[in-house]
Amino acid sequence: MATRSTSSSTSEPASTRPPPPFVEVAPSVYEIPTSYRSDMRVPARIFASPETLPGLLADHSVEQLVNVTTLPGIVGAACGMPDMHEGYGFPVGGVAATALPDGVISPGGIGFDINCGVRLLVSNLEHKAIAARVEGLVHELSRSVPSGAGRGGRWSFAGKKLDRILEGGAGALVREHEVGTASDLEAIESGGALEGADASAVSERARQRGADQLGTLGSGNHFLEVQVVDEVFDEGAAGRLGLVVGRVAVLVHSGSRGLGHQVCTDHVRLMDGVMQRYGIHVPDRQLACAPLSSPEGQQYFAAMCAAANFGFANRQLIAHLVRDVFRRMFGERDGFLRLIYDVGHNTAKIEKYEGKKVCVHRKGATRAFGPGSRDVPAAYRDIGQPVFIPGSMGTSSFVCVGTEHGSEASFGSTCHGAGRQMSRTAAKKKVTGQALRKELEGRGIVIRCASNAELAEEAPAAYKDVDRVVDVVAAAGIARKVARLRPLGVVKG
């Protein structure tokens, strides 16, 4: 959700202030020093190249990142990823850590689609062996996985069943409904459930909105994509992940649907009403926040963790539906899909840096822990946590792994995609869905999207160049390239 910020932190309008001074502090790393504005508590750190940096000034994202530096309790730097663009309060692609216990937590720093995330599954199938069946495969996937705004699924969870999912995440589906296996949980961030979730902190309205939405993609930039491993950059890491050139894979991008959106809406309003009580003044009301140690902060954190668990469960159920299609079409052995990893990019988590506990807000930014971290699955601990950076329809996606350097440079974070460079309205003015559909199909990419308008909103031209974005990530040392995946077919809401 990208709502323009209109308020300013000084009496001087944003349009009349001089452009921020970007100081290159390391390769592909720039900082705006605290001298730029009197209310800045820490620098604003941006990961970019000389070619991509000017594009970040096309919207209000840099100004929003500077606003983030003013939050009470913020430490280190407010970080902007190379896919950064304007969002609600925080820019999408923003990372900020606040010191416990009294540093603030801000719903705008997590976003409305709590635990929107990406899951990658790899098959035993070679593309050349099933090339003639890709169109039928994408068609079956579009029939089996509900997509679209407000669309419900074939399952409905309410009462205690929903409580157990909100508090147990993907594991509740595995244990109680045999959706997936225990081995899946080892390949999901935080084992598929965030600690601290409390179902009672989730409003009745949020529960109603999410009751029938598990196992659904939603709309907007959410997708299910059939891909082929196109190129490998790191043979050792790719081999560990099971990525072989020519192998067919599936990438799923979805989140907590209406439930997560309502949790954010509920708590933005709540925090906006209590900031004065805590003596908090922010340059933009979209940065509404409260101390994490406060009753309001604790209530939001418990509800946010519950919504995140709903997001993990949603992707677990989507994967179950995808696996069923592959088994029906290709058999138990050839159609088997192994989960490589599942990682969210709209969460706040309690982590430790330099011996101190902090609350790390990642909005449109993914966790990217390096080798040796105990939070990385044992099978990947020597190579680092898998990271997925999708492109847009028609462009490649990348598999990377986290680095030790990222821990000090970006609170163990990297970007979550290519990042928008054009609004949805502008995209629809420039591209028609019908023409885009023909263009992609002419390139051999099967498209299933009921709405041409929704298709146009997600046109490749609306996004930054994913190759440049990933090159910045690699040059800055906050993730390492492993493989590139090429799209064969896309299902969108």
- Catalytic residue ranges: 416
Alpha-carbon distance 24 to 123, whole Å? 43
84 is in an annotated binding site: no
314 is in an annotated binding site: no
Whether the bond into 101 is cis, omega within 30 of 0: yes
67 is in an annotated binding site: no
Crossing angle (nearest 10°) for helices 295-330 and 134-144: 140
345 is in an annotated binding site: yes
Contacts of 222 (CB under 8 A, 6+ apart): 116, 147, 253, 254, 255, 492, 493
224 is in an annotated binding site: yes
148 is in an annotated binding site: no
419 is in an annotated binding site: yes
346 is in an annotated binding site: yes
115 is in an annotated binding site: no
Query: By the 8 A CB rule, do 145 and 317 touch?
Result: no
356 is in an annotated binding site: no
113 is in an annotated binding site: yes
**Length, in residues, of the chain:** 493
479 is in an annotated binding site: no
Q: DSSP states of 400-426 as a string?
A: EE--HHHHHHHSSEEE-SS-BSS-HHH
127 is in an annotated binding site: no
Alpha-carbon distance 2 to 86, whole Å? 6
SS3 per-residue string spanning 262-318: HHHHHHHHHHHHHCHHHCCCCCCHHHCCEECCCHHHHHHHHHHHHHHHHHHHHHHHH
At 421, give phi and psi (nearest 5°): -125, 0
Alpha-carbon distance 384 to 67, whole Å? 32
94 is in an annotated binding site: no
Alpha-carbon distance 331 to 324, whole Å? 10
Q: How far is CA 351 from CA 41, 348, 357, in A?
A: 21, 9, 6
393 is in an annotated binding site: yes
434, burial (CB in 10 Å: exposed 0-12, middle 13-18, buried 19+):
exposed
The end-to-end CA distance of the chain, in Å, is: 16
Return binding residues for GMP.
221-225, 345-346, 390-393, 397, 416-419, 492
Return binding residues.
113, 221-225, 253, 345-346, 390-393, 397, 416-419, 492
Return binding residues for Mn(2+).
113, 222, 253, 345
